[in-house]
Each structure stands twice: as structure tokens, then as C-alpha cells.
Amino acid sequence: MQRCFGKICPLQPLAAMMEEEPESARPEEGKPQDGHPEGDKKAEKKTPDDKHKQPGFQQSHYFVALYRFKALEKDDLDFPPGEKITVIDDSNEEWWRGKIGEKVGFFPPNFIIRVRAGERVHRVTRSFVGNREIGQITLKKDQIVVQKGDEAGGYVKVYTGRKVGLFPTDFLEEI
């Protein structure tokens, strides 16, 4: 571990994301929509540089916004759900720096999800209350999910960053 802006943070935060994240790592459904995460970010989000932390790392994944993040300061990165984001600096566990097109800025990492090669990103077109006993997941309209595997019997396994479960394919739109 290394010191990171007065807090302990992992040496390789992106590598740590390769493992499944605990439920507490993601915001509650509906709560991050306003784009006002807690804490004073002015002192927290300053970064030493914009270099990638793993030289020569071949990127086999990318990141997509799960929720809308509304910029609160001029150096924040504003984005809607479903936007593809390039992570520039992940050395601070509370505020990452990213890029969308020519825009560069800070955002909370729990607003995005990693998408690995071969996975597909979808927007939920209709809310669905799943049956947990048979592995289904409950999702609301317009949520962003990542498909984990192939369709079987009209359902696919999807991942929201916090939950994994089966969801009907006819309620999904690939983005």
C-alpha cells in the first residue's frame, strides 16, 4: 500500500478492479443520479501526473458510465449514463481522471463500470422485477448493464457493478 492524498490506496487500483467488487463499492440505486457525491474533493482529487501506472499494459477492457455525473467544478468530467470513458489516472481511490473525446476531468470511479473484451453494454428499455430464487435480477428502465455470456432461453446474465443475474433479452438495447 502507498499513501494517496492522506489516505491508504492500492499500488495498482486498475488491477484491483479485475476482481469482483463488493456491493459497498457502488452507489445505491438512484442516489448518484444527482452527481453530488459526499466529501471535499478539492483537496482529494489533485493528481501528481497523468501517466498510466502500468507501462506497456495492453488494454483488454474499457470503462462505461453507469450513472450520470454532473460536473460540480470546472475540472470535473461531466457525462451521461452509457458514455465510454478513457481512464487517465486512477491513483486516487475517490477521484479518477478520465477523458471523453477532447474533454478531460475528474469523476468518482463508482460511477463507471469496466467492460472486458467480448462483453456487451446494454441499456434497460423496461423495468423488470426478477425472481431471485431462479437467479433473475431486478432492474429499472434506463439502467446500464454489462452482458456476461450468451443468451439462453430469452435471458442473459448481466452485471450492474453491484449485482449479477439473469435478465430478459427483450428488455435490453445494446449501446
Q: Model confidence over 25-61: pLDDT tens digits?
A: 444 444 444 444 444 444 455 544 444 444 444 456 7
Is residue 171 predicted with pLDDT exceeding 90? yes
Domains for the chain: give ranges and CATH numbers: 61-115 (2.30.30.40), 118-174 (2.30.30.40)
Q: Which of 58-62, 67-71, 131-135 has the lowest mean pLDDT?
A: 58-62
Separation between Cα atoms, residue 69 and residue 35, nearest integer Å: 5
- Closest to 110 (Cα-Cα) out of 75, 82, 139, 69: 69
Is residue 22 predicted with pLDDT exceeding 50? no
What confidence score (pLDDT) does residue 26 get? 42
Enter the pTM of the model.
0.63
13 within 8 A of 51, measured Cβ to Cβ? no
What confidence score (pLDDT) does residue 51 get? 44
What confidence score (pLDDT) does residue 59 get? 55
Separation between Cα atoms, residue 155 and residue 17, nearest integer Å: 26
**CB atoms inside a 10 Å sphere around CB 152:** 10
**CB atoms inside a 10 Å sphere around CB 156:** 20
Q: Model confidence over 80-128: pLDDT tens digits?
A: 999 999 999 999 989 999 999 999 999 999 999 999 888 999 999 999 9
